[in-house]
Amino acid sequence: MSIDKVNAIIGKELDEIMKNKYILGSLVAVPLLFSLLLPASLIAPAVFYPEAYLDANKTSYIATALGKSEASQEALISFFMNAVIPFFMMLPAILPTIVASYSIIGEKKNRTLEPLLAAPVSVYDILAGKALSAIIPALAATWISAILFCVITGAITYTGLHRIIFPDIAVWLLGMLVLAPLLAFMGIMIAIIVSSRVNDPRVAQQISAVLVVPIMSLFIGQMSGFVLIDLKVMVGAAMLILVLDAVVLILGKSMFDREEILTRWK
């Protein structure tokens, strides 16, 4: 794999992304929505209207999950902060698929795919270039969104409790710096594989969206009391995704057939 060739592909792909208003809109709107909606819908009520949550019948599963006889307001806020991590892990799994699904199908429509596939670059060069060009803006949007969430959450807790309550730093750093890139890579590879086999980017996005199901199961599990998102859970998830990424990379190379991709588009 040539670094110069990969960089050339990345530059070309990023240039195309900047020209696509749909992709740019998605990269901005979805992360912004999460960073604003989640603090408003979960954190703010727990700060300003704790009695709505601190009812034994409603929060017994929270108390059990936290290993406490009863859930305090601060424990409740921390519980919700960890519960929303899957939403921010979902962003790098979804956003790159939008970019990657258009990366091949869009080039088919614009008739710019043939020169790339005919160029003296390896399959790994193409896959790496397209994957990184989708990972970079998606992760940037995710990290900015997570930082904005922490800032807004800190402002809300300081306003209501006169002290700043931040999310679990170790859990969030592992989620954002390790799991997020791993999930982004998986989402991109699946999108590239699918988009190389179909002619409609919406089909590629819908198939790739299957990644959302296991990610959001963490949120549902946390909110229902079946799973407690902590460092052990995050480490286990990271190890699993790393293995799956290796499998998807091997499959991607074997299924990325240059001639078939060119002849499939009519």
Query: How does pLDDT run across 80-129, given as a tens digit for each residue?
Result: 888 888 888 888 878 877 776 666 666 656 665 556 565 666 666 777 77
What pTM was computed for the model? 0.78
Coil, helix or strand at residue 35:
helix
Q: Which residue has the higher pLDDT, 22 or 203?
A: 22
Compute how many other C-beta atoms are within 10 angstroms of the C-beta atom of residue 200.
11
* CA neighbor of 132 nearest in space, from 58, 95, 184: 184
Question: Over 70: is that where the pLDDT of 250 sits?
Answer: yes
Question: 47 near 160, Cβ under 8 Å?
Answer: yes
| Residue type for position 258 | R
| Residue type for position 63 | A
Q: Which residue has the higher pLDDT, 165 or 96?
A: 165
Using CA atoms, how far apart are residues 69 and 209, in angstroms rounded to an integer? 39
Using CA atoms, how far apart are residues 219 and 80, in angstroms rounded to an integer? 10
